[in-house]
Amino acid sequence: MTSGVLAADTLPGDSKDDERPKWDNKFQYILSCIGFAVGLGNIWRFPYLCQTYGGGAFLVPYFVALIFEGIPLFHIELAIGQRLRKGSIGVWSTISPYLKGVGIGCFFVSFLVSLYYNTILMWVLWYFLNSFQSPLPWSFCPPNENKTGLVEECQLSNTVNYFWYRQTLNIAADINESGTPQWWLVMCLVACWTIVYICVIRGIESTGKAIYFTALFPYLVLTIFLIRGLTLPGATEGLIYLFTPNVSMLQNPRVWLDAATQIFFSLSLAFGGHIAYSSYNPPKNDCEKDAVTIALVNSMTSLYASIAVFSVLGFKATNDYWACMDRNIISIINEFDFPDQSIQREDYLACFTHLNSTQSDRMAQLQLKSCHLQDFLDKSASGTGLAFIVFTEVMVHMPGSPGWAVLFFGMLFSLGLTSMFGNMEGVLTPILDMQILPKSVPKELITAVTCLISCLFALCFTLQSGNYWLEIFDNYAASLNLLIFAFFEVIGVSYVYGLKRFCDDVEWMTGRRPNIYWQVTWKIISPLLLLTIFVSYIILLILKQPMYGSWNPQYDDFPIKQEKFYPGWVQVITVMLSLLPCIWIPGIAIFQLITRKKGKGKNSWPAPDGKNPVNL
Amino acid sequence: MLVALFPTLSLVTVIHAQLCQPDAENAFKVRLSLKTALGDKAYAWNRNEEYLFKAMVAFSLRTFSNKETIEISNVLLCNITKRVSFWFVVTDPSKNQTLPASEVQEAIRMNRNRINNAFFLNDQTLEFLEIPTTLGPPTEPSTPIWIIIFGVVFSLVVVGIVLLIMSGIHKQRRKSKALTETGDVEDKYETVVTIENGIPCDTLDSKEGRINRAFAADGEKLTSL
């Protein structure tokens, strides 16, 4: 059956091959895909999940999800992009005009995600710029206005929290209080979008050059941190804690759900970015090998990063434990007037029990907090909390702090930047493919306008309530929609385009037919998995109350965050954000149905010159 | 006379002992952490160091209140522990009372730096309990460092963008120039080889060619359908 191959030869887009940009070499393409997949989540989400869900045992659901969901979906994206040589909108309208909505939805999601992702980069840039000084600005509390003491907010919480919530975000106590845009954040935002612009200015011609640095630099820094982390005291405790498997955790269905969603978001599926990247490939390229390679590199990077992160976190826990003991020792020495430094950390426990038995009333007066290393190791953090609060505190205690801070935030910036390239390609490639603008408009101008519009929209994140809005975007704008789009991707390719036709195309491109593993996962397993994840996700979202934690210095239990409900208008905007991308799927499908019915209706009468009715 | 001296001396020491006691009126507790501050180079706390301390306190009071009459013997130390910690009071030379706490506090605050330096200690390792420290103003440069680095990074990026855009425009102009040039070359090429059968083709300008009247007449002889 060669009909598939013949049909493949005559697909649109082949004639315009010479005009379409190309990768300089295969390595650039692989690096770009790896850079897009490897992002901030590999550093600050995967280690947290590993720690929370029973250490080494988490790797089991993680790899199961990788094999049955991540790699098959990834292969589909690379294959359709490479075959149909268009961005997401073009690809889906080629597969079926009714599925054009999937492409438009992916385009919208890429746009929304690039808005808030670059905001995170803005914060990273701010910290990076502030790392070039010693002592680091988040290591001390500033004095208050009348110079009688330190700022109260800083004393009640701690220095890193104060720097993050007050000196960086200047956060409002409530999402209703929008406040004003913070000028230092606006400057960093403009700088971030300018940096993104200079890299994306000519599409893959420019990102292809930038990627050599931005994709490889994080690995260098991770290695440096790994070596430094392993030599710090307490690193081994952290690593043992991370990887000790707790197999009973596997019975909790939440673990499997989080593993599946982590694989899904980690590989940056359903954004349209990978489709855009592979559309610039030569048609005969082994996309199967690429898919497996890139997915495995992404997972290995997550593991590598978690080793580095956890050796540093082990050091932090040990440091905190020692600080706790030292505080207690000082209290005891001061109370009983023992000589300075007479109690060492090793003798603390013995001394403590002895004193408790002999002088229990005086000891009770001291109100000593008990110190256990396990408690400090249990304190986990993910996301911005890990980077801007936990890690910044650790780096204060490492000798040569400014250097480590510069390296760390430089690494985070590179990681985020390569992911931004993929997001922007997911936005720019469909715009350029749809050719809504005349050819005389240079690509540089289109890119500039896109970056400018995104920058203006992102200004709302520089408001004092910006962090609360970012959490909303993070939780609601992307996750659900991506799951829907991925589901339609698999269904669209397996059933609408036809699995047989697709396998013929892949055979034409790679030279070998996809084996039974691919066919079974594409046809049955991945759609089922995605459906299950989607339903569980919806159930969890409905069960979770729409609350947020606000940083309120007036709160009684400060520095614990005050839990507040989202006001009505915020909930409306949240629902709109979740629906806006995926509403295009039914919208476009219905639109196509109507236009086709109208077209058929017109040609049901014979034409006046006796010719046959034209089949539209 | 010696017999008369003895009760006076003992009376004085008793009075002094009563003036300097833990939690006495106008008394302050001092705490030193020598090992924490100096490690191996820590000196031992002995009577000579106590003498220096008394001297520093007396000096502070002299400079603060301009009372030239305060002597080292007016500063009383008591309850010295191995911690090292002790209590001290300052007696008024004219009366048999202690100086008010506020005066002593202000004097110590004014000269805190010099007292610290005399013992190679700082505010955390030489603690006067209940005397708050005056925080020095933070040393901030006139322009924060982050703005300087921001300026460097931003100007580099803007210069890069301008260069890229200009090179793009330059490329476009060269491309369009090359296109018009190849267009001229092709025209020249055509004007060279356009003579066939001895007839120069450029005479046949019209696309439809020339009307050959010899054939035109034939068409009229045929009957129309």
Q: Under an 8 A CB cutoff, do A340 and B134 touch?
A: no
Chain B neighbors of A133, CB-CB under 8 A: 145-146
Which of A198, A202, A331, A443 to substitute to test the interface with B, most B CBs within 10 Å? A198
The number of residues making up chain A comes to 616
| Nearest chain A residue to B29, by CA | A334
Q: Under an 8 A CB cutoff, do B161 and A198 touch?
A: yes
CA distance B74 to A314: 54
Chain A neighbors of B168, CB-CB under 8 A: 202, 442, 444
- Hey, is A281 helix, strand or coil? coil
Does the pLDDT at position A10 exceed 50?
Answer: no
The shortest C-alpha distance from A196 to chain B (Å) reads 10
Residue B34: which of A197, A338, A340 has the nearest Cβ? Answer: A340
Q: Under an 8 A CB cutoff, do B145 and A339 touch?
A: no
Contact A246, A52 (CB under 8 A): no
pLDDT score of A133: 87
The shortest C-alpha distance from B146 to chain A (Å) reads 5
Looking at 3.40.50, 3.40.30, 1.10.4160, 2.60.40, the CATH number of the domain A28-596 comes to 1.10.4160
Q: Where are the alpha helices (DSSP H) in A437-478?
A: 443-458, 466-472
* Cβ-based neighbour number of residue A71 at 10 Å: 24
What is the DSSP secondary structure assignment for residue A512, as one 8-state letter? Answer: S
Contact A199, A210 (CB under 8 A): yes
Closest by Cα among A94, A496, A602 to A615:
A602
A296: amino acid identity, one letter: L
Task: Spell out the domain ranges in chain A.
Answer: 28-596
CA neighbours within 13 Å on the CB side: how many for A520? Answer: 5
Q: Under an 8 A CB cutoff, do A132 and B34 touch?
A: no
One-character DSSP codes across chain B: -HHHHHHHHHHHHHHHHHHS-TT-TT-EEEEE-HHHHHGGGPPP--HHHHHHHHHHHHHHHHHHH--TT--GGGEEEE---SSSEEEEEEB-SSSSSBPPHHHHHHHHHHTHHHHHHHTT--TTTEEETT-PPPPPPP---SS-HHHHHHHHHHHHHHHHHHHHHHHHHHHHHHHHHHHHHHHHHHHHHHHHS-EETTEEGGG--STT----HHHHHHHHHSPP-
CA distance A225 to A309: 8
Give B6's pLDDT tier (boundaries 50, 70, 90): low
Which of A128, A134, A340, A406 to substitute to test the interface with B, most B CBs within 10 Å? A340
Contact A166, A463 (CB under 8 A): no
Chain A neighbors of B82, CB-CB under 8 A: 337-339
Contact A153, A94 (CB under 8 A): no
CA distance A522 to A529: 11
pLDDT score of A19: 74
B90 forms beta bridges with B75
* Cβ-based neighbour number of residue A397 at 10 Å: 14
What does pLDDT average to over chain A?
87
Binding site as annotated, residues of A? 35, 37-38, 42, 266, 298, 415, 419
What count of CB pairs under 8 Å joins A to B?
A: 76
The shortest C-alpha distance from B76 to chain A (Å) reads 20
ipTM of the complex: 0.79
Q: Under an 8 A CB cutoff, do B132 and A333 touch?
A: no
Average pLDDT over residues A386-396: 89
Chain B neighbors of A335, CB-CB under 8 A: none
Long-range contacts of B103-107 (CB under 8 A, 24+ apart): B103/B61, B103/B64, B103/B65, B104/B26, B104/B28, B104/B57, B104/B61, B105/B28, B105/B130, B105/B131, B106/B64, B107/B57, B107/B60, B107/B61, B107/B63, B107/B64, B107/B65
Give B105's pLDDT tier (boundaries 50, 70, 90): confident
pLDDT score of A13: 45
Flag the least confident range among A72-76, A80-84, B172-176: B172-176
Residue with tokens 């889906």: A92
Contact A125, A196 (CB under 8 A): no
CA neighbours within 13 Å on the CB side: how many for A192? Answer: 36
Q: Under an 8 A CB cutoff, do A194 and B158 touch?
A: yes
Q: Under an 8 A CB cutoff, do B132 and A149 touch?
A: yes
Binding site as annotated, residues of A for Na(+)? 35, 37-38, 42, 266, 298, 415, 419
pLDDT score of A545: 80
Residue with tokens 């307490």: A234
Closest by Cα among A277, A271, A274 to A106:
A271
* Stretch 66-85 of chain B: residues touching chain A, C-beta under 8 Å: 81-85
**A214 class by beta-carbon count within 10 Å (0-12 exposed, 13-18 middle, 19+ buried):** buried
Q: Under an 8 A CB cutoff, do A195 and B150 touch?
A: no
CA distance A137 to A126: 12
CA distance A308 to A319: 17
Q: Which helix (H) or strand (E) holds A550?
A: strand A547-550
Is B101 part of the contact surface with chain A (CB cutoff 8 Å)?
A: no
Residue B149: which of A129, A148, A201 has the nearest Cβ? Answer: A129
- Hey, is A342 helix, strand or coil? coil
CA dihedral sign of residues A577, A582, A586, A591? positive
| Nearest chain A residue to B80, by CA | A337
pTM to 2 decimal places? 0.83
Average pLDDT over residues A369-376: 86
Residue A143: which of B36, B135, B154 has the nearest Cβ? Answer: B135
Residue B168: which of A130, A148, A444 has the nearest Cβ? Answer: A444
Does the pLDDT at position A71 exceed 90?
Answer: yes
B31 forms beta bridges with B85, B127
Which one has a higher pLDDT value, A474 or A605?
Answer: A474
Flag the least confident range among A13-22, A227-236, A330-339: A13-22
Does the pLDDT at position B113 exceed 50?
Answer: yes
pLDDT score of B176: 85
pLDDT score of B2: 64
pLDDT score of B207: 53
CA distance A205 to A444: 12
What is the DSSP secondary structure assignment for residue A386, as one 8-state letter? Answer: I
- CA distance to A113, A183, A345, A346, per residue, from A463 (Å): 18, 9, 46, 49
A124: phi then psi, degrees, rounded to nearest 5: -60, -40
Is B161 part of the contact surface with chain A (CB cutoff 8 Å)?
A: yes
| Nearest chain B residue to A125, by CA | B150
Q: Which two tokens stand for residue B43?
A: 């000196």
pLDDT score of A614: 44
CA distance A62 to A256: 8
| Nearest chain B residue to A332, by CA | B83
Q: Which two tokens stand for residue A137?
A: 């600005």
pLDDT score of A252: 85
Chain A neighbors of B130, CB-CB under 8 A: none
Chain A neighbors of B146, CB-CB under 8 A: 126, 129-130, 132-133
| Nearest chain B residue to A135, by CA | B139
pLDDT in tens, A100-154: 999 999 999 999 999 989 999 999 999 999 999 888 999 888 887 776 678 888 8
Give A424's pLDDT tier (boundaries 50, 70, 90): very high
- Bridge pairing between strands B126-128 and B28-32: antiparallel
Residue A337: which of B81, B153, B165 has the nearest Cβ? Answer: B81
pLDDT in tens, A431-487: 888 877 787 888 888 999 999 999 999 999 999 999 999 988 888 888 888 989 999
| Nearest chain B residue to A443, by CA | B168
**A425 class by beta-carbon count within 10 Å (0-12 exposed, 13-18 middle, 19+ buried):** buried
Contact A585, A102 (CB under 8 A): yes
Chain B neighbors of A341, CB-CB under 8 A: 33, 35-36
Contact A207, A288 (CB under 8 A): no
Q: Under an 8 A CB cutoff, do A340 and B33 touch?
A: yes
| Nearest chain A residue to B34, by CA | A340
Which one has a higher pLDDT value, B218 or A288?
Answer: A288
What percent of chain A clears pLDDT 90, i.e. is strictly above it?
Answer: 45
For the CA atoms of B119, B123, B129, B134, the dihedral, rounded to the nearest 10 degrees, stands at: 130
Flag the least confident range among A264-268, A576-580, B131-135, B199-203: B199-203
Q: Which two tokens stand for residue B145?
A: 């460092």
CA distance between the termini of chain A: 27
Residue A133: which of B34, B145, B161 has the nearest Cβ? Answer: B145
- Hey, is A435 helix, strand or coil? coil
Q: How far is CA A263 from the centre of its chain?
A: 11
The shortest C-alpha distance from A329 to chain B (Å) reads 13
pLDDT in tens, B31-78: 888 888 888 888 888 889 889 999 998 888 888 888 778 888 888 888
Does the pLDDT at position A1 exceed 50?
Answer: no
Which of B33, B82, B150 to substitute to test the interface with A, most A CBs within 10 Å? B150
Chain B neighbors of A197, CB-CB under 8 A: 161
A446: phi then psi, degrees, rounded to nearest 5: -60, -45
pLDDT in tens, A307-322: 999 899 899 999 889 9
Does the pLDDT at position A17 exceed 70?
Answer: no
Q: Which two tokens stand for residue A501?
A: 């036709």
Q: Which two tokens stand for residue A119?
A: 């905001």
A143 forms beta bridges with A150
